[in-house]
Chain A
Amino acid sequence: MPELLSVSQVYKSFLISDGMFRKRQLDVLRDINVIIEEGEAIGLVGESGSGKTTLARIIMGMIPADSGEVLFDGLDLTALSKAGRRERRRDMAIVYQNPFVSLNPRLSVLDLVAEPIRAHERMSRAALKQRVTGLLADVGLEESYLNRRIGAMSGGQAQRVAIARALALKPKLIVLDEPTSALDVSVQAQVLNLLANLRATHGYTYLLITHNLDVVRHMADRVLVMSQGEIVEHGATDAILDSPQHPYTQALVAATPKSPSS
């Protein structure tokens, strides 16, 4: 399979206040290398604060890396013209960790999901509404939510709007940052089934960031483990989770609560 995403030698730091009125540099990502082939599902797990969301934002071209290179479909997004970048962007989508922050609270659900479609395709209002209704149905939301705003929805409902929006343009790469942590296990099952199904039928590629190792095991072919800004372990999912080598991965596996039914 051809390479879809290649991240090499990426470094990132932020200038922060150390609490004593001085500034210092916080190294958030150190020498990150990731290759994702088309059609793969990769799990990214790791400590809270280890840099997963920062890496996702760099991959999406939302923030620049300090150094290193990110190639999507062989192209460096930061080197493209604005129009070229816009065209490439339709092939990548992200579901952010927090729907209430990432989605515009003034827009209706209809407009939120329609927005990316309108930016890239011309279609009639009726056709657009039908497409949005179909996307909402895929994530288990009824048509009656079309005119709601995010602020008037539950956490899990809002998260599903974010997922429907990300799927709207059938992107090649979907970065999912904790997509199901706000969902009850039944809706989670529905979303995971949908993602697996889309992958089987359209060959979608996923980078799935999650704290839930059962979800990683269910979805991912390979897994990357991050700790303190570095990838400390990577490999086939079952191999890593069955015999973790790095102390942090071992701690993760050991701390996973046992499901009550098993």
Chain B
Amino acid sequence: MAYIEIDNLQVVLELATGPLAVVKGVSLAVEKGEIFGIVGESGSGKTMTCTTLLGLTPNVARVSAETLSVGEHNLLDKNWAAVRGREVAMIFQDPASALNPVFTIGAQIDAVLRRHTELNKKARRARLLELLEQVGLPDPLRTAASYPHQISGGMQQRALIAMALSAGANTLIADEPTTALDVTVQAQILALLKSLRDQLGLTILFVSHDLAVISQVCDKVAVMLHGEIVETGPADAVLKSPDHPYTRALLDASPKPGSRGTVLPTVAAQMVLHGGSHA
């Protein structure tokens, strides 16, 4: 059995307008120590799939699956206290809403350290500063003392990464973890995640829109469209010679040197071009 095992995952939202299926039979298997990428259409259910691993889907969501497990934990038992933080930590897509506006960054990370480690106060403080340094925050003391609104978007994102790492979880879900970062800091974060994988055997589910980043860090990748996985395989192979027209269309849609002044191909247009159907 793989470390993260998702078999036939379905998420249906019970909306006032009727039920809406947003994840339709997703199956994935991620081995321990693997970095597994998810790319795909905006709104295709990437974040929803991730949040089922922590029991953090919205109230209106009905989740079902044949298998849904991480490590030893059968998530269908819904014993979330044993899972969150200790087994699975998540870097949320939207750092500003994931951080609490009324506590300093330092206080928020310290709360996680208190809950999930045995460290005493002094050791926690040292660990806090070490984490902030590791994620590339230039002035850890200042950042620790700041409230979320006092730091920039990219600093918030790094603070959130530090917080996710602070619990010492075995599995990390990173939902667009580097979107707010400049590429130099991004390179540092990607190197950090890889080294944590190499040293601690961290298993990482990595959601990104950036195909270049996916090809750089991920062992495998799954491509999502309309709540389904349309293609999966080794990251190099999928991104170098994609089978599915949607994946090919994604590759074509990225702006490149020389594309200025031209109309970028979008998926709807591309699907026709490649003979696929945009159902």
Nearest B residue to A177 via CB reads: B153
Query: CB < 8 Å: which of A49, A182, A252 contacts B179?
Result: A182
Find chain B residues with CB under 8 A from A186 CB. Answer: 41, 249-250, 253, 266-267, 270
Could you tell me the distance between the alpha carbons of A252 and B106 in the complex, rounded to whole angstroms? 29
- In the complex, which residue of chain A has the Cβ closest to the Cβ of B261? A196
Mark each residue of chain A from 152 to 171: 1 if its CB lies under 8 Å from any CB of chain B, else 0: 11111100100000000000
Closest residue of A by beta carbon distance from B260? A218
| A185 B259 Cβ-Cβ under 8 A | no
Residues of B within 8 A of A182 (CB): 42, 93, 176, 179, 209
13 more CB-based (< 8 A) A-B contacts, given A184-B40, A185-B211, A257-B213: A97-B180, A154-B47, A155-B176, A184-B41, A184-B42, A188-B209, A189-B255, A211-B183, A217-B259, A218-B264, A252-B183, A259-B211, A260-B239
Say yes or no: is A16 at the interface (Cβ < 8 Å to chain B).
yes
Q: Of A17-25, A31-39, A74-82, A117-125, which stretch is located at the interface? A: A17-25
A155 proximity list for chain B (CB < 8 A): 42, 47, 93-94, 176
Task: Determine, out of A40-48, A64-72, A87-95, A108-116, the stretch whose residues face the partner at the interface.
Answer: A40-48
**Chain A: minimal CB distance from B119 (Å):** 19
B142 close to chain A: CB less than 8 A: yes
- Determine the chain A residues whose CB is within 8 A of the CB of B273 once the complex forms: none
Counting contact residues on chain B (CB < 8 A from A), the size range is 35 or more
Are A189 and B181 closer than 8 Å at their CB atoms? no
Chain B residues whose C-beta falls within 8 Å of the C-beta of A46 in the assembled complex: 182
* A257→B239 CA distance, assembly (Å): 14
Give every chain A residue within 8 A of B253 (Cβ-Cβ): 185-186, 188-189
Q: Which residue of A45, A185, A187 has the most chain B CB atoms within 10 A of its CB atom? A: A185
CB-nearest residue of chain A to B157: A48
Which residues of A pack against B, CB within 8 Å? 14, 16-20, 26, 45-49, 52-53, 97-98, 100-101, 144, 152-157, 160, 178, 181-190, 192-193, 196, 211, 213-215, 217-219, 251-252, 255-262
> Complex formed: what's the CA distance from A12 to B263 in Å?
39
Cα distance, A45 to B185, chains bound together (Å): 13
Select from chain B the residue with minimum beta-carbon distance to A219. Answer: B260
In the assembled complex, which residues on chain A have CB atoms less than 8 Å from the CB atom of B263? 193, 196
17 contacts between A and B (CB under 8 A): A17-B146, A18-B141, A19-B141, A19-B144, A49-B155, A98-B96, A144-B17, A154-B47, A155-B42, A155-B93, A155-B94, A183-B42, A188-B209, A192-B255, A211-B186, A217-B259, A217-B260
B14 to chain A, nearest CB (A): 12
Cβ 8 A contact of A48, one of B17, B144, B152, B260: B152
Contact flags B1-32 to A (C-beta < 8 A → 1, else 0): 00000000000000001000000000000000
B192 on the interface (CB 8 Å rule)? no
B185 and A18: CB pair below 8 A? no
Contact between B255 and A257 (Cβ–Cβ < 8 Å)? no
- Which positions in B face A, CB cutoff 8 Å? 17, 39-43, 47, 58, 93-97, 106, 138, 141-142, 144-146, 150-155, 158, 176, 179-187, 209-216, 236, 239-240, 249-257, 259-260, 263-267, 270
The residues of A that contact B97 with a CB separation of less than 8 Å are: 100-101
Which residues of A sit under 8 angstroms from B185, Cβ to Cβ? 47-48
Contact between chains at B94 and A181 (CB < 8 Å): no
Q: How far is the CB of B98 from chain A (nearest CB, A)?
A: 10
In the complex, A187→B253 CA distance in Å? 9
CA distance A252 to B184 in the complex (A): 6
- Nearest-CB distance from A39 to chain B (Å)? 15
Closest to B98 in A: A100
Distance in angstroms from A153 CB to nearest chain B CB is: 8
Q: Inside 8 A of B158's CB, which chain A residues have their CB?
A: 48
Are A218 and B255 within 8 A (Cβ)? yes
The complex places the Cα of A9 from the Cα of B235 at a distance, in Å, of 48
Residue in B95, B154, B214, B265 whose CB lies within 8 Å of A189: B265
- Nearest first, the 6 A-B pairs at minimum CB distance are A48-B154, A156-B42, A218-B255, A19-B141, A189-B264, A257-B212
Cβ of B231 to closest chain A Cβ, rounded Å: 14
Taking each of B179, B181, B216, B239, which has the highest tally of chain A beta carbons within 10 Å of its own beta carbon?
Answer: B179
- Shortest Cβ gap from B7 to chain A (Å): 24
A186 to B209, CA, bound (A): 10
Which residues of the other chain, A, contact B96 by a CB distance below 8 angstroms? 98, 100-101
Tell me if B151 and A49 are in contact (CB < 8 A).
yes
Cβ of B181 to closest chain A Cβ, rounded Å: 5
Measured CB to CB, the closest approach of chain A to B268, in angstroms, equals: 8
Residues on the B chain within 8 Å of A218, using CB? 255-256, 259-260, 264
Complex alpha-carbon distance, A185 and B176, angstroms: 13
Whole-angstrom distance between the alpha carbons of A31 and B70 in the complex? Answer: 53
The answer to whether B176 touches A192 (Cβ under 8 A) is: no
The answer to whether A48 and B255 have CB atoms under 8 Å apart is no
A214 to B267: give the CA distance in the assembly, Å.
19
